[in-house]
Amino acid sequence: MECKILFFYPYMRIEKCWFCSANVYPGKGTKYVRGDYKSFRFCRSKCFKLFKLRLNPRKLKWTKASRVMRGKEVVEHSINTFERRMDVPKMYDRSKVENIIEILPKILDLKNRINEENTKDRIFTAKEKSKLSDLAFMKKYEKLLENEKVIVDTQKLSSSHLNKSESKTKSAGKSKKTSETILN
């Protein structure tokens, strides 16, 4: 009599928290099922309490929805298609798994680079915006500056700013001399 052993490949679904979009691993977090049979997954009691208080996740700065809304994180990118949810598990194929394991560090590196570029771009645009607002303020109150015999020139302003930053990087002893030359 032959005994057949059937192997089922159990798959582990890593779900997302409904409130903050954090990962919820099997056996962790809480699941809330509403009266209309709609289910919600929560990663921790903090998210569940805030959900019960009917707070909007977009108004809390630490949630993923808020960060995406403010442009802090990149969501719509082709690299994120790797993390999509699949309802049907795929059969195990050793060659595919080996390829995925080889490519995984490259994917993570690319994802980090995309996030860094997004961060640098946000910082650069914020600095440009603040520079423009400062220049507009200086132009608006130019008469006050003329009374003090200070001439505002955008090119001199930017060049003196560059000279100060270069002098700080060279040495602490030379910085006094360079700052005096800039002022003169």
- Counting beta carbons within 10 angstroms of the beta carbon of residue 55, is it exposed (0 to 12), middle (13 to 18) or buried (19 or more)? middle
pLDDT score, position 155: 53
pLDDT score, position 26: 92
Q: Token pair 């442009």 is at which residue?
A: 71
Q: Encode pLDDT of 37-96 as tens digits.
A: 999 999 999 999 999 999 999 999 999 999 989 888 877 777 777 666 667 777 888 998
Residue 33 pairs with which residues in a beta bridge?
39
In this prediction the pTM is 0.53
**C-alpha to C-alpha distances, 67 to 2, 4, 92, 151, nearest whole angstrom:** 58, 52, 36, 42
Structural domains counted in the chain:
1
Specify if 67 maps to a domain.
no
Residue 35 has pLDDT above 90, yes or no: yes
pLDDT range class, residue 12, cuts 50, 70, 90: confident
- Counting beta carbons within 10 angstroms of the beta carbon of residue 36, is it exposed (0 to 12), middle (13 to 18) or buried (19 or more)? exposed
Specify if 147 maps to a domain.
no
Those residues with Cβ within 8 angstroms of residue 7's Cβ, 6 or more apart along the chain or in another chain:
none
Specify if 14 maps to a domain.
yes
Specify if 5 maps to a domain.
yes
Look up the CATH number of the domain holding residue 47.
2.30.170.20
**C-alpha to C-alpha distances, 162 to 45, 62, 184, nearest whole angstrom:** 50, 36, 16
Range of the domain at 35: 1-56
Specify if 175 maps to a domain.
no
Specify if 125 maps to a domain.
no
Specify if 10 maps to a domain.
yes
